[in-house]
Structure 1
Amino acid sequence: MRVCAPPDDECAESLAGVGVPLVPVGESARSLMHGETPPSAADLARRRVEMVAEQFETVAAAAEGCDALVAAGLMQVAARSVAEKRRIRYAYVSYQPVGLPSPHHPPPPRPGWSPPPEGADNQVLWAQDALGVNELFAPALNTHRASIGLPAVDDVRGHVFTGHPWLAADPVLGPWQETAGLDVVQTGAWVRQDTRPLPDELEAFLDAGDPPVYVGFGSMRAPEDIARVAVEAIRARGRRALVARGWADLAPADDGDDCFAVGEVNQQALFGRVAAVVHHGGAGTTTTAARAGAPQVVVPQMVDQPYWAGRVAGLGIGAAHDGPTPTVGSLSAALGVALAPGTRARAAEVAGTVRTDGAAAAARLLLDAVGRGGPPVSV
């Protein structure tokens, strides 16, 4: 087994921990997200097209000797072609329902693309999305397919997704609604059990008072001044603050003993010991907080994160902040919802329903498909 992913240390270290080699492909996600200035729409488009050529070379080499290829994310444009050429099984996985076409929801906003017109029908929006994907990727994809003796593709998005994609999201947190023409298999979220102990200094902070409110934005380019805003909002609620540095290198604005900064840490162990989790709404963080029974405040920044914010609010396990840039007042108001006794009770109730076997379910599907043999169709 091997994994093709951006050449970031965090990814390499996580894979090394389970004995899986990283095959670097593309540029560093951290560098892209946290350069001096965000990349322009034109720059993003150029980089995406350049990725296709690199994927055909790198993924094809990595897939040598493999029985199957699993791709995640629309940017993995070359993966299915590699699987076709090598005559091996192929599966596409989405980590959120809104990543797959359905009349029940609009497509997520794609970085660098113009926002869609308000009020447009979801099916119209998905049709426009398909045209945009074709316009961006079809020339490069079909040029490379022709070079390895494969026929042209007229629907890039449908080609990548297949008619039988997997959905690696929890059925309670992110349920799939049946959609004609798309046979989705919902495996549950893919979560690896984390057994690392919390650092001694963090344990001491947790033991020194009431459960704090955790604030973290993971790999995101966090809202400006968010650490100060968050700490002030948390203090306004009479709570201590635990600030996760993340890729934005957040830190409390002062050295008050009611604040603590933490680096990369076992969130599975930590979230069960906090009063609430304030975060960006990534699929992984949302699922981890939900499994721990921690009330959430989601401050969505991009792509699928507004969806997860809506799910958290809709399930009654937290609050969805309106917009990506909170003020002390707006975040304090959202914390008021998350810290309410009824929200914690509901979060504990939902925690008991979250599946923990999603990765095992997907592995069984893949092994079964490989074991059946036959032609190299999608799993």
Structure 2
Amino acid sequence: MRVVLSTYGSRGDVEPLLGLAVRLRGLGADVRLCAPPDEEFAARSAALGVPLVPVGDAVRPLVTGAAPAPTDFPTRVARLTAASYEAVLGQAAAGGAVVATGLFPSAAGARAAAEQAGAGYVYAGLQPTVLPSPHHPPFRYPGRPAPPEGADNTKLWELDVESMNALFGGAVNAHRVSVGLPAVANVRDHVLTGRPWLATDPVLGPWLLPAELDVVQTGAWLLPDPRPLPAVLSAFLDAGEPPVYVGFGSMPMRGSEDVARLAVEQARAAGRRVVVGRGWAELSGGGGGDGATGVTGADGVDGADGSGSGAAADVPDDCFVVGEVNHQALFARVAAVVHHGGAGTTTAAALAGAPQLVVPQIVDQPYWAARVAELGIGAVHDTAVPTAGSVAAALRTVLAPRTRESAAAVAAGIRTDGAEVAARLLIDGGS
């Protein structure tokens, strides 16, 4: 059976599909991943033996570079829809399946390709907030009219259809017509379908009932990571008490650098050692002073393979800077994780039983931050007004024994079979 997995986004969008791909291959499926051509995604796919079909431009330069002009939006929607369609259509097979997630135009292109190829189609949300529900509001798109005051979630989701049609409908339908498919009146619901999947853990990101959508919650699609931690990092961890990890993954942290710097400073002031994750924000400031974290010098561990020559001489003894490493292994050895609130990092920290300080930036990150606070497994810090006092207070909450106890209890209830559940549904035709 040929299964095509399609996405366009950052690591948090790509890695869950790799977790699903590994499970599908174990069940005998022929799997292809259509994803951005970033070097790190290609390397990870190759290491797992999953063929990667490039879609569009690399994501990292788009995220970390200058923001595109709003006037370019329709062109970018049309281009990404067409690129995803072409990539998926080139791999899909009649009687097979296409699973799509990531940016909406990418999923729209994948859905059109599945229709054209005669393959089954599944939309998979990686967070509950992407799916219409009376229990949470939709993401508000910049430039769209403000909703009426007092509108409830049901009304907001009705207005969301109008927003999605206005933003994406023209380009998506123009593409559909150009390839011989009919236009659709409601592009959002056509792409999401009436029975989408939700690839989140039921404890961390539950799908609340009642709701109109017939959502299939599989559990999070985790990719087991057997890679050992580099020797220099292991030696640092072994040399003292568990450190605080500070890293913001694929977020560029524009305008929020003070939070990273203050988190490092306040953790050290509290007598905690620190591991700084370089991420796409380049928090290590490699090759010189680093205004973002207050840590100077080169990375202790760098490169996609986690190799490195050891901590640089001008990095304080109580700090260590890392590039790409095994978060599953690292988070099991830290006192807390300070991060942006992406679905992948939140789940990895929760599974490791590590208390979390979440500094949410965009889209679904406020949702995950709220869940961390509601579950008592960490705290939330607003990026708007960071001060030494506010960050120190948040860290005290996160590092309190009761928070670690709650984190350990939640960790014990998190499912690790989500990718297996999804893979078997696809193989058995239960999509």
Change (3 A) 1:191 1:300: same
Determine the structure 2 residue equivalent to 1:369: 429
Decide whether aligned partners of structure 1 residues 320 and 133 sit closer, same or farther in structure 2, where only a CA change above 3 A counts. Answer: same
Matched, 1:57 2:86: yes
1:295 aligns with 2:355: yes
The residue aligned with 2:203 is 172
Alignment partners' CA distance in 2, 1:118 and 1:33 = 33
CA distance in 1, matches of 2:62, 2:227: 29
Q: Which residue of 1 aligns with 2:13?
A: none
TM-score, with length taken from structure 1: 0.93
State how far apart, in whole Å, the 1-side matches of 2:181 and 2:281 are. Answer: 43
Cα shift at 1:208: 1.3
Gaps of 5+ in 1: 371-378
> TM-score, normalized by length of structure 2?
0.82
1:107 equivalenced with 2:138 (yes/no): yes
* Aligned counterparts of 2:68 and 2:144: Cα–Cα separation in 1: 12
| Residue of structure 2 aligned with 1:91, choices 122, 127, 133 | 122
Deviation at 1:246, TM superposition (A): 0.6
AA aligned opposite 1:24: P
Contact 2:360 2:383 in 1 (8 A): yes
Counterpart residue number, 1:203: 234
Distance 1:115 1:214 in 2: 38
The 2-side partners of 1:333 and 1:315 are apart by: 19
Equivalences for residues 1-379 of structure 1 within 5 A: 1-35=31-65, 37-64=66-93, 67-73=96-102, 74-75=104-105, 76-110=107-141, 119-222=150-253, 223-251=256-284, 252-254=293-295, 255-323=315-383, 326-369=386-429, 379=431
Q: Which whole-Å CA distance do the structure 2 matches of 1:315 and 1:200 have between them?
A: 34
Percent of counterpart pairs with the same letter? Answer: 60
| Counterpart secondary structure, 2:225 | coil
Shift of 1:87: 1.1
Q: Is the 8 A contact 2:133 2:212 kept in 1?
A: no
Q: CA deviation at 1:226?
A: 4.1
SS in 2 for 1:369: coil
Q: Structure 1 residues 181, 33: closer, same or farther in 2, change over 3 A?
A: same
Aligned residue pairs, count: 370
Structure 1 residue 302 displacement after superposition = 0.5
Residue 45 of structure 1 deviates from its aligned partner by: 4.3
Residues 43 and 113 of structure 1, relative CA distance in 2, 3 Å threshold? farther
- Name the amino acid aligned to 1:26: G
Alignment partners' CA distance in 1, 2:271 and 2:70: 42
8 Å contact 2:353–2:404 — kept in the other structure? Answer: yes
- Asked whether the equivalents of residues 276 and 297 of structure 1 are also in contact (C-alpha less than 8 Å), the reply is yes
- Report if aligned partners of 1:271, 1:294 keep a CA contact under 8 Å in 2: yes
- Which has the larger displacement, 223-232 or 4-13? 223-232
Q: Alpha-carbon deviation of 1:112?
A: 6.5
- Report the CA distance shift for 1:324/1:179 in structure 2 as closer, same or farther (over 3 A): farther
Q: How far apart are 1:53 and its partner, in Å?
A: 2.1
SS in 2 for 1:134: helix
Separation of aligned partners in 2, 1:326 and 1:40: 29
How far apart in 1 are the matches of 2:359 and 2:418?
26
Q: Distance in 2 between matches of 1:91 and 1:148?
A: 21
State the AA in 2 paired with 1:57.
Answer: E
Would you say the 8 A contact 1:301–1:324 is kept in 2?
A: no
Partner residue in 1 for 2:19: none
> How many angstroms apart in 2 are the aligned matches of 1:40 and 1:128?
25
Secondary structure (helix, strand or coil) at the match of 2:350 reads: helix
AA at the equivalent of 2:176: R
Bigger mean CA offset, 248-257 vs 190-199? 248-257
- Equivalence for 1:374: none
Unaligned runs of 5+ in 2: 1-30, 285-292, 296-314
Q: Give, in angstroms, the shift of residue 111 of structure 1.
A: 6.0
- What corresponds to 2:20 in structure 1? none
Q: Deviations over 1:200-258 (max 9, x none)?
A: 11111111111100011000012224442221121232211110001111124242111
Q: Whole-Å Cα distance in 2 between the matches of residues 286 and 8 of structure 1?
A: 23
User: Which residue number in structure 2 is paired with residue 375 of structure 1?
Assistant: none
Write out per-residue CA displacement over residues 103-160 of structure 1, whole angstroms, 9 at most, x where no aligned residue. Answer: 1100124467566566432122212221111112222222222233322200101000
Cα separation, 2, equivalents of 1:169 and 1:115: 30
Contact 1:107 1:126 survives alignment (8 Å): yes
